[in-house]
Each structure stands twice: as structure tokens, then as C-alpha cells.
Chain A
């Protein structure tokens, strides 16, 4: 079982919907990440939070909005997504820089 928990596991939404992805870790890690992964591709970094502050935004479209309410939780708010946004969205956390990231099992997102 992974120590990073993501919900929901699957999500189907229309292009006009608003939904949120949730991620939780209780390992005391101070860095948390959102990744997007397409089939047969490596994970692609979207956002990094360090000590609950957004430290990296990899030029992600504004229809994706991250939020870090506390050191254990990470949300990704979705609005007006496009069909090409369909992918596996992964959350990860790490103790600190240069430490390996631990991933959740992701949310499989489908945009109709």
C-alpha cells in the first residue's frame, strides 16, 4: 500500500465542470508535487509545494489550480478542462531536496 493517498481513483467530467483532486500524506514530508502522465510517457511535473508554499509552476494552464491547505494535504482544482487533459494525475511527496519522491497511485481523469 502506498503512503500517499489520492482520491478519487477515477474521474469523468465534462469540459464545463469544476472538480478537485485530493492528495494526502502522513510521512511528515515538506515537499509535495503534482504530475501529469500520459500513456507510455514519463511523469511530467506540474507544480511543487515546499513548506506549503508554491515554489514551482511549470507553465501549467490556469484551468489547473493547486492548493496546499496544510503540510499533509494537496489539492488540484480543475475547471474548463480540454479533452487533451485526460491523463493519470499523480501526487508525490519527499522529505526534502535530493530525497526520492514517493508517489500515490494517481487519479485517472477523463474529459468528455
Chain B
């Protein structure tokens, strides 16, 4: 059974305090891993797609990396506006393109 597990469930940081969010997955034949950011009352905003182990993507203070079993979202010197829930998702096994979402990490960055 496909599984996507995100940790920690919640994370509080001080502004400027770098950290990482984890997304571990079990799926047959990974065909991509997606990271999203979701603000309260809004839809998820697409951040990154990673397709193969060793791949890295960057956007401003965010950097996503992928291994064969997990992905990390590194946040460098976060600011309060980085506060959001971060979701990762992978397409289901068996050729489906329907994503299985993790439960997300709620990030709060204090000024």
C-alpha cells in the first residue's frame, strides 16, 4: 500500500533558524514527488517536482532534495512569511497519476 509520511507534524522556528522537513514514502516505481505550500483558507500552491534520487530544486529560501526513500525540504533563514503547511505528494502506484498526500507539516516562524 502506498504511504507518504511527513515529519514533524508541527514545527516552530525563530526567524533565521534553518531547519528541514521530511517526507518519506513507500510506493512502487516512483514517478515524481511534489511539494506544496498551503496557507490557511487557500488551496495548495505548487512548489517543486522531483523525479529522481539526487535531484535538487531551489526557490528562494527553500531547497528540496530527493533520495530513494525520502525527500527533504530545507528552509534556510526562514522568515515569518514562510509560515504555512507544507504538503508532499507522490503519484499512486500502478500507473495512476492520482497523488497520495502526506498529512503535512505545519510550520510557524516567529519574528
Question: In the bound complex, what is the Cα–Cα distance between A4 and B42 (angstroms)?
Answer: 12
Query: With an 8 A cutoff between CB atoms, is B66 at the interface?
Result: no
Question: In the bound complex, what is the Cα–Cα distance between A102 and B45 (angstroms)?
Answer: 7
A103 touching B91, Cβ below 8 Å: no
B interface secondary structure, majority: loop
Residue of A nearest to B106 (CB): A40
Q: Which of B31, B32, B49, B102 contacts A42 (CB 8 A)?
A: B102
Q: What interface size band does chain A fall in?
A: 20 to 34
B 27-55 binary contact with A (CB < 8 Å = 1; else 0) = 00001101010000111111001000000
A102 touching B98, Cβ below 8 Å: no
Quote the shortest CB–CB distance from A49 to chain B (angstroms): 12
* Given known A88-B41, A98-B32, A108-B41, contact A42–B101 (CB-CB < 8 A): yes
Query: With an 8 A cutoff between CB atoms, is A81 at the interface?
Result: no
Quote the shortest CB–CB distance from B29 to chain A (angstroms): 11
Determine the chain B residues whose CB is within 8 A of the CB of A90 once the complex forms.
Answer: 43-44
Question: In the bound complex, what is the Cα–Cα distance between A98 and B30 (angstroms)?
Answer: 10
Determine the chain A residues whose CB is within 8 A of the CB of B45 once the complex forms.
Answer: 2, 103
Query: With an 8 A cutoff between CB atoms, is A28 at the interface?
Result: no
B42 touching A98, Cβ below 8 Å: no
Q: Which of A41, A56, A94, A103 contacts B44 (CB 8 A)?
A: A103
Could you tell me which B residues sit within 8 Å of A by CB distance?
31-32, 34, 36, 41-46, 49, 87, 91, 95-99, 101-104, 106
A-B contact pairs, 24 of them (CB 8 A): A4-B43, A31-B97, A40-B106, A41-B103, A42-B87, A42-B102, A42-B103, A92-B43, A96-B97, A97-B91, A97-B95, A97-B97, A98-B32, A98-B91, A98-B97, A99-B49, A99-B97, A100-B34, A100-B49, A101-B99, A103-B44, A104-B43, A105-B43, A106-B41
